[in-house]
Structure 1
Amino acid sequence: MSGDRLTEVLDATYDCLIRYGVRRTTVDDIAGAMNVSRSAVYQYVRGKDDAVRRLAERLHTRALERARRAASADAPPATRVRGVLEAKLRLVLDLSGDSPHTAELLDEKARLFGDICHGFTADLRTLLIRVFTEAGLGGADPAEEEADENRPAGPAAEPRPSGGPAADARRPPGGTGTVGPARAVGGAVDPAGAADMCIALVLGLESVPGGERLLRPAVDALLTGLLGDAGAAP
């Protein structure tokens, strides 16, 4: 499959979504935007639904790559966190700015690509948890450590939950089950809780006029509370 031709199909699909939206766009519209026949479009995608899904995947993948670079940068934790959140906000603002229709590509409830949107947010959460963990946020609760030390060994020990519906209920929303639930540790928020707060913050800014302008001061204020001096703007 020619990557260049597929790119042209997805670019044409995006142009059509700007004008018609997801529901009204057809393969004929995509073909017309490319000045090719319907059959030519079908050489690269299975149909309109496949084209739209591939387009959503491409957009979210690019944004995730930006977030990963930010999370892995040789920079203070606050800068890395802001970079991850900026990647999400930038995606939303770009799509919303081009057309109200293209903003449909952000709908986590959409049949065609909702799982892509949901997975993107879960991946950002994982990146943020890693940054906060590396920054030394939270830590073990001394009382819990003492309880663990005094816990009887062997078969008589109290079993820890390992699966089933109850364990699933404690997993983070959209998560992979590799990170525990958010909790306060010794009066501080743990990395998972901090990541959830950051995601909630950027979700709120997405719907606020001037959200991009407010991102930096809002994130700085949050991180100063979470990380102390490490959260101050560099």
Structure 2
Amino acid sequence: MSDDERIERILDAAYACFTRHGVRRTTMEDIAREAGMSRPVLYQHVRNKEDAFRRLVARLLDTSLAGARAAAGAPGGLTARLTGVLEAKLGMLAKVWADSPAHAVELLSVDARLSAEPIAAYDAAMRELLASVVTAERPDADAAELAELLLAFTRGLEADLSDPDAPARRLRRGVELFAAGLDRSPTAPKEHS
């Protein structure tokens, strides 16, 4: 097994343990047992539980960003592409909530404290991605401002993921409203009758 495969196995085990027991109650012994390896082998790949958590968060963010980039480049209009980008973000958090209703709040609040740098980089990449989608469709729009508004809107939806269908439904409707507002803004191209 390669080092990369071992790290993936460790991160899978860490996710299983964190969602089952919570971050605070999970031990390195738990992660090693779940990964099917000894603690000394585990420590060859991650320094401690916090390191495993940071790497896991980075992997989740990378996966979400890859999905967002694919959605940004997919065929469809502005609303569909923006919705797809934001669904990748919302979907990542909804998965954590679904996998661990008992520990989701802990998992989602801990990552802000332990993983501020990758989260900041992820947020910046999402802002740039959203702005690029807007600019491609509406070059005269204030793309940076709209990207910030869309991210703030999505963060609001992330506050309550207890109903798995409501946030995605509200996201789609909210993006429709944002896009409709762009069509009516003073900088939007005028349609001729």
**TM-based fold match above 0.5:** yes
* Higher RCO structure, 1 or 2 (CA under 8 Å, sep 6+): 2
Computed over aligned residues only, the root mean square deviation of the Cα atoms, in angstroms, reads 2.2
Gaps of 5+ in 1: 139-188
Residue 36 of structure 2 aligns with which residue?
A: 35
Change over 3 Å in CA distance of 1:98–1:60 after alignment to 2: same
- Greater gyration radius: 1
Name the counterpart of 1:113: 115
CA distance in 2: counterparts of 1:22 and 1:115, whole angstroms: 19
Partner residue in 2 for 1:18? 19
Matches within 5 A, 1:89-104: 89-99=90-100, 100-104=102-106
The offset of 1:219, in angstroms, is 1.2
Tell me the equivalent position of 1:78.
79
C-alpha deviation, 1:194, in angstroms: 0.9
1:149 match: none
The aligned residue for residue 157 of structure 2 is 205
2-side partners of 1:118 and 1:227: how far apart? 31
Larger helix share, 1 or 2: 2
The corresponding residue for 1:133 is 135
TM-score under structure 2 normalisation? 0.83
- The match for 2:124 is 122
Aligned residues: 180
CA deviation string 1:158-205 (max 9, x = no partner): xxxxxxxxxxxxxxxxxxxxxxxxxxxxxxx61111111111211122
Decide which of 182, 190, 200 is 2:142's aligned counterpart: 190
List alignment gaps of at least 5 residues for structure 2. Answer: none
Structure 1 residues 67 and 225, CA gap change in structure 2 (3 angstroms) = same
Q: In structure 2, how many angstroms separate the alpha carbons of the residues matched to 1:19 and 1:54?
A: 18
- Show the counterpart of 1:215: 171
Q: Distance in 2 between matches of 1:60 and 1:38?
A: 27
> How far does residue 103 in structure 1 lie from its aligned partner after superposition?
4.8
Percent identity between the aligned chains?
40
